A and B are shown apart, each in its own frame.
Chain A
Amino acid sequence: GAVVSQHPSWVICKSGTSVKIECRSLDFQATTMFWYRQFPKQSLMLMATSNEGSKATYEQGVEKDKFLINHASLTLSTLTVTSAHPEDSSFYICSAFRTASYEQYFGPGTRLTVT
Chain B
Amino acid sequence: KQEVTQIPAALSVPEGENLVLNCSFTDSAIYNLQWFRQDPGKGLTSLLLIQSSQREQTSGRLNASLDKSSGRSTLYIAASQPGDSATYLCAVKRGSGGGADGLTFGKGTHLIIQP
Interface of A with B (CB < 8 Å)? 6, 31-32, 34, 36, 41-46, 49, 59, 91, 93, 95, 97, 99, 102-109, 111
Contacts and interface: CB of A to CB of B under 8 A. Distances in A.
19 contacts: A31-B100, A32-B100, A43-B4, A43-B105, A43-B106, A43-B107, A44-B44, A44-B103, A49-B100, A59-B102, A91-B41, A93-B43, A97-B99, A105-B46, A106-B43, A106-B44, A109-B41, A109-B42, A109-B43
A43 B104 CA distance: 9
Interface residues of B, number: 20
B77 interface: no
Contacts of B105: 36, 43-45
B108 A43 contact: yes
Contact of B44 (A49, A59, A93, A111): A93
Contacts of A34: 102-103
B104 A111 contact: no
A105 B103 CA distance: 12
Interface of B: 4, 36, 41-44, 46, 49, 89, 91, 99-108
B107 A42 contact: yes
A90 to B, nearest CB: 13
Given A49-B101, A95-B103, 4 more contacts: A49-B100, A97-B99, A106-B44, A109-B41
A103 B105 CA distance: 15
Contacts of A32: 100
Contacts of B104: 46
A46 B107 contact: no
A93 to B, nearest CB: 6
Contact of A107 (B43, B89, B106): B43
Contacts of A104: 103
B43 A102 contact: no
